[in-house]
Structure 1
């Protein structure tokens, strides 16, 4: 492991904490961070140690590290692995997403074409493409070039997606194989509480989507039914860009996060029938709000 990798990863984790609005005290599992940044746990451990020396993270009573109550946002212009400020990278990412939805980008493309069109370096673009690959809406072609994968592009298919979620998500809570992931739900709860307490008013559309889909997929995983979890994950990949395109009503976003807290608390209290009923209500409300945005 090189010093440069640890330095880059420490900066990336700092941005990740800030961009997702993690509350002080939120645990930072090495495995979760390693999966997110597609690295092994060793550089994550070294990066967290460096962040601890800067008081960005602190020791967690249960072991490992957590977000410090003294954490500050990354310095303006602080660079992440691709050498580009996070805000600029997000702008390019969102521009590509919007152009793809408008049909202004072909199914197949090369890095050189996107570099010229969006005025970014190869390193900057490759970091964005890695993110898109992880999210499941582009893939590298054998030999040369890239290809966009299918996504939802019409209001009708978007509505069908919500109707599908109504069929599977509440049912998953009532599966006989349901097993509560308490630690996973508590992590989601800390994030949703931060969003409900003001974070939803400043979070990017991508950060909101990631936090909310993470909660719903965590609940689907509790079902013990791999088809329910796989179906929801596939749908989330398809609907991601449509969600970005929707106008973000900050009041509605905050209210949905409060609904998420109610849903989590019902599950933690083992009130599964009430949680399933609330899931249906929550999804119907979200579908209605999204249809008008």
Structure 2
């Protein structure tokens, strides 16, 4: 019974996606009846969240309500139901993305109520709660007593950014050293090609946004490679906060190229399974990125932490 109650609290949008998957798996066709109790049993939840999910599907023209008859599928597998599922995912994505954008621009305060957000975005309380639950999983908001939610501090001040680098300096090298660390070779290869292409751009075409996207994508890949779920989850939440903030100071072109080269050095070590070296290279990379003065970052460091790039063999665009 406790498990059933926990299941009943599942995100309603996710439950709507689950119902679509169920219909697809069963090969259901347009016009077929969707009985509440049967769907609730199949999904392992009570009828209450099913009703909320049904309303989401009705709003997206996937279900039709008929008085005294219930809900019916308006489209089946042959009528674009798979594509409709993507639309439901976009519904959830769209709202929490709008909330993040407004929070980043400080158009909404640190503490918000569900009702206030529902009025602001002209959506239901259920949709707001779904979006807030996603943000809560990412560590961006925390529920307070009652219906209030508090946003975590943004990375929009020098102190916050410095604390971000200190946090990452503690945890990211350890992510590499966790037992069972794995690197996705396909993703690493694609990211390597993108970083090389970025390095080949003239200075006039290097943008802060392009650099930040590749930088965060690289560090997210490292976080996802950690076999420790707590390390992985904490880092991924922090990188989502970084992606939301878009406030880190733009590095000059030479530092952008140097940072990409450091990424590539770390990838080389990871692909050779030299995890300790990769972790040391990550320390150097983060210290350089935090200081923004690569010529000073290596002072007083051991030769190992300076890494092979100190010899100048692979760094592009840096002064000797």
TM-score by length of 1: 0.50
| Larger gyration radius, structure 1 or structure 2 | 2
TM-score by length of 2: 0.46
Higher relative contact order (CA 8 A, sep 6+): 1
